[in-house]
Chain A
Amino acid sequence: MRVLTPIKLTVDISQLKYESSGEPLIDIAPRKMGDSDKCAIEEAVRLKEKHNAHTVVVTVGSTPDHERMVRDAYAMGIDEGYIIEVDGHENLQAVNVGEIIASMAEKTGPYDLIILGAGSLDTHSYTLGPIVASRIGIPIIASVDSLNYVEGYIEAKSVMEDGTYIYRSKPPLVVTVTTEANEPRIPTLKTILKSKKMEVKRLSIEQLGVRLEKVGLVEVKKYIIQRKNIVWDASEDFEKAVDNLVNLLVGEV
């Protein structure tokens, strides 16, 4: 079995800072691998351990952070890693990123499973897995909280607002996993040292034959909704604070 895990370098939102004008300082914000991407790697490595899968990661963009991220994946147990060299990767159309990954999968595959993190936190939220599935022309099992490979079938569970969906299908498949799927392993010193010696392969956009279009970005600003911001301190007047809540809630009942 061959498993491909596309991973994405994302802006670490918890460390985002802003100009006084409200413009976020994107260029200096730290980048990291998405949390659900780590869960996707963990699922791939578990398939390697249990079912002898050959595991591959791919990332789109050519900064030093991208190479670091591929090495982090090696340290978790991934066998092979590719960097797709693109400048300005953060302004690519989501559909282009999907095309790049689909083209890479066709060139270096075939793969039985393509496992992605369900959601990245910056711009391609929950759509990259479905785009890749469509581009390759294989089915998707999306946003799963658990994943098992049993007698040639993938079995997966997805908890949604209206209930629980249990999916079962034979590979080839695209599967997207949420952060509930597993607890990603922490690399050991030994695997980290080993990861530094492994080769990182590189492919260019020309080799993949994808034509790119940038997002037509006009501006980015901090999102502020005007709220009333009226606050009562219960330690000053407990009864009054609770009465105010009652009036607010009953006014709408």
Chain B
Amino acid sequence: MRILVYGETVEWLKQVREIAEILNSEVYGVIPSRELVNQASKILDKAYVFDGLTYEPNTYHKIIRRVSDKVKPDVTLFPSTIKGRTLAGLYAGEKGQPIITDVLNLRYIAGGLEIERLVYGGSCIATIRSTLPATICISIGAFKPSEKQVNGEIEYLEEIRESAVQTEFRSREYVGVPLERAEIVVAAGRGFKKKEDLEIVKELSRILNGAWSVTRPLAADYGWSDTWIGISGATINPKIYLAVGVSGQPLHMIAVRNSKTIIAINKDPSAPIFNEADYGVIGDLYQVLPKLLEKLKKKLG
């Protein structure tokens, strides 16, 4: 059995190695950056590498298709991110094969795979059976990263330059740790009254060497941030997710469910987030956060 994966991060590739062990398969990867080569070649049986191309789904799809023609995979894996889902849709559409997103678990059965996936905005889990070959988008953080090391091959791909779609990219300037790599993420929800109040969240994340973000209404409706955590924004799986003034709507929770520990601060004892949190403090964030910051500063010097 052969797995093909599209991989942008080492953390994701390690999760795919774990899947390859579960399915007892060889794993081949399409890697969009030379920077990942050294690590990718220790995780994948073979890495097909290209470099210097701005993300543009139609062009990336052509490259993945070219590798797929060589590898002839039974299972093609993408992360369940917006980019991953877009590439997966192009791939499955062209191949005319089943596509399953938001996958939490999978195993071989006679004639195909049995798959557990999130449905209905992450509120339910469906068990389905699929024939092979299949295209599968894995929920970020659903599998633990494997530390197994292999001595994989590397092949550099000739670049495809022409594209029907012109693309211009303006990179985000990160202050501190990028959201998807942070071990601690602090998020602000609608409990915050004005944009300036987010300063305390930023300071808290800085002290904890983590990252900060907001829920969708704060970004999309109020314009306090360009990005947010939620099914239509970023998906995270940090060690600690600290949700402040976040009520816990399903479309937000689907993007944080793979966090190891969830801590909530909310003044409403009936907020749904308390049902999905490991630890919670019922209290006014405008009182709790300043005190928390003060005590953390004292403790951490």
Contact = CB atoms under 8 A, between A and B. Distances in A.
B278 A98 contact: no
Contacts of A118: 82, 232
A125 B295 contact: no
A249 B240 contact: yes
Interface string B98-109: 110110000000
Contact of B240 (A124, A130, A235, A248): A248
A179 B282 contact: no
Q: Is the interface of B mostly helix, strand, loop or mixed?
A: mixed
Interface centre among A139, A141, A219, A223 (most CB of B within 10 A): A223
A242 B292 contact: yes
B93 A245 contact: no
A93 B85 contact: no
Nearest to A250: B299
A231 B281 contact: yes
A interface: dominant SS:
mixed
A249 B282 contact: no
Interface in A80-113: 93-95, 98-99
A232 B278 CA distance: 11
A215 to B, nearest CB: 6
What is the size category of the interface that chain B forms with chain A?
Answer: 35 or more
Nearest to B122: A223
B301 to A, nearest CB: 11
B58 to A, nearest CB: 5
Given A135-B93, A231-B279, A246-B296, A141 B165 contact: yes
B274 A229 contact: yes
B220 A179 contact: yes
Contacts of B283: 233-235, 238, 241
B237 to A, nearest CB: 12
A133 B93 contact: yes
Interface string B215-243: 00000100000110001111000011010
Contact of A143 (B86, B120, B123, B226): B86
A225 B170 contact: no
Interface in B102-120: 102, 114, 118-120
Interface of A: 11, 13-14, 16, 24, 93-95, 98-99, 118-119, 121-135, 139-143, 159-170, 178-180, 213, 215-223, 225, 227-235, 238, 241-246, 248-250, 252-253
17 contacts: A13-B121, A13-B123, A93-B98, A118-B82, A121-B120, A121-B121, A126-B82, A127-B92, A130-B93, A132-B93, A142-B57, A162-B172, A164-B170, A228-B278, A238-B283, A241-B283, A242-B291
Sort A-B residue pairs by CB-CB distance and give the 4 closest, nearest first. Answer: A130-B89, A234-B283, A134-B93, A131-B93
